[in-house]
Every structure is written in structure tokens, then in C-alpha cells.
């Protein structure tokens, strides 16, 4: 940010999080649906290609989001979540809502952080065990597709990022969760409301998951923009 004439500045062969090369096994990375093509704004102007690819483990949150769960649980994608039918990075989702290119301002950076938090929380809607169970079944189907060349699970590629009003509404909820709560740490400092970052997973997922676009993140390991 601001974007280059031919992209956001990300390298298409490097993870947007850790900046290491993604390697030749692209089945283990998340590639944004608009990685090379971009998309059209309603004004008729064209959004530049985001060039976003991710190692799944690099999609995580930093300050001011916190957790008291072990191994920073709730601040990163579930480890079992590897097969995502349609991946849309946070930069494309935010640009789709704003209907413009991003600028290097604290407001736009804050929206990127809120979108990342929203997506990680949504990924934790299902219990870890549910993710493991479904991902193992998906691997079986993907292996059959590769062995016989028969497409089974085909997700529709969107022409533009989602613009549902529920997305900014969830940004509001994420921002509100950063307000100081009633509990304090050992030094007496009030903890943010999101400190627990506990999730109530829906243990009854359906195969509709395979047909819906899953919108996941971009380049900010830390969300320190809120302090600016």
C-alpha cells in the first residue's frame, strides 16, 4: 500500500506473511482468487491484482488482539484447516467493501486488521476436531480427483469480493472487543474484552462449506495500527 501499477507490492511466489518462497507444492498454500486478475469496482475502474499467497500458519493476529488460551489459540487459523475452496485475502475484501484501492493510512490498516480478526474468528466457529474430520475426508476426495482426473468438488469462483453488510458489522464487533473490560492483569492494567478469545463452535457443519467462498487474510503479523 499504496498499490503498485501492477499489484499491491506482494511477490506472487512469496508468502505475504513471512515473505519466504511458497515452493512448488501449491496445494499447501492459500492463494487469493484475485491474486493475478484483480476485480472490477462498481465504478468501472479495475482493482489491481493483490498477488497474495499465504502459508496457512502465517495467517495470524498480533497486538492489540490477545488471548489467554494455550499456544496463542484463537489468534491464528486452526492448524487442521488446509483445504479451502475459495480463498479471498483481507486486502481484496476490504477493497471490495470500500470500493477503492487502499491507502497507507491508519484507517485502512485498521480495517485490514479487523478483517483478519473476523476471518480467524469465523474459522474457529467449528471445533478443532470437526476441522480435522472434514479435512481428512476432503483429502480423500482430492486424491481421487488427482488419480482419475474427475472433478468432484467444484467451487464457483467469484467475480468480485463479497460486499455483504454483515462484514462491516462484524468489524464493529471486533473493534468493540478491544475496549478495556472489567478484569485486570497482575499489574492492575485493565484487560481488553477479547482477552478470553473463546469460541462456541457449531458442531453441525454442512457440505455447503465447499460451495461458499472462504475469505482469509493478508500481510500484517501485528495489528499495531490501532495505536496510531
3-state SS, 114-128, equals: HHHHHHHHHHCCCCH
Compute, in degrees rounded to 10, the torsion defined by CA atoms 205, 60, 212, 168.
Answer: 110
CB atoms within 10 A of CB 10: 24
- Write the CA distances from 147 to 85, 141, 143, 152, 154, integer angstroms: 19, 10, 6, 12, 16
Q: Which of 64, 95, 58, 92 is nearest to 77 (CA)?
A: 58
Structure confidence at residue 218 (pLDDT): 39
| Residue (of 91, 18, 64, 115) closest to 228 by Cα position | 64
**Residues 124-175: tens digit of each pLDDT:** 888 778 888 888 888 889 899 989 999 898 878 899 999 999 999 999 988 8
Whole-prediction pTM: 0.75
pLDDT above 90 covers what percent of the chain? Answer: 33
> At 209, phi and psi to the nearest 5?
-55, -35
Q: Is the pLDDT of residue 92 over 90?
A: yes
What are the distances in angstroms from CA 172 to CA 164, 193, 208?
A: 14, 14, 27
Amino acid at each position: 500500500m499504496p498499490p503498485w501499477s501492477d499489484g499491491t507490492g506482494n511477490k506472487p511466489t512469496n508468502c505475504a506473511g513471512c515473505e519466504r518462497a511458497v515452493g512448488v507444492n501449491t496445494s499447501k498454500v492459500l492463494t487469493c482468487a484475485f491474486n493475478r486478475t484483480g476485480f472490477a469496482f462498481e465504478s468501472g475502474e479495475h482493482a489491481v491484482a493483490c498477488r497474495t499467497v499465504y502459508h496457512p500458519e502465517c495467517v495470524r493476529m498480533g497486538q492489540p488482539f490477545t488471548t489467554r488460551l494455550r499456544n496463542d489459540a484463537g489468534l491464528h487459523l486452526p492448524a487442521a484447516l488446509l483445504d479451502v475452496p475459495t480463498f479471498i485475502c483481507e486486502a481484496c475484501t476490504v477493497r471490495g467493501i470500500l470500493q477503492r484501492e487502499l491507502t497507507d493510512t491508519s484507517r485502512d490498516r485498521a480495517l485490514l486488521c479487523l478483517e483478519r480478526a473476523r476471518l480467524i474468528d469465523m474459522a474457529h466457529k467449528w471445533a478443532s476436531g470437526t476441522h480435522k474430520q472434514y479435512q481428512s475426508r476432503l483429502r480423500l476426495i482430492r486424491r481421487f480427483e488427482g488419480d482419475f482426473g474427475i472433478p468432484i468438488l467444484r467451487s464457483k469462483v467469484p467475480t468480485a469480493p463479497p460486499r455483504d453488510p454483515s462484514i462491516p458489522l462484524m468489524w464493529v464487533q471486533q473493534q468493540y472487543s478491544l475496549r478495556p473490560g472489567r478484569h485486570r492483569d497482575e499489574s492492575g492494567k485493565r484487560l481488553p474484552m477479547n482477552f478470553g478469545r473463546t469460541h462456541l463452535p457449531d458442531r453441525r457443519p454442512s457440505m455447503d462449506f465447499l460451495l461458499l467462498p472462504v475469505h482469509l487474510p493478508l500481510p500484517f503479523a501485528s495489528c499495531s495500527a490501532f495505536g496510531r
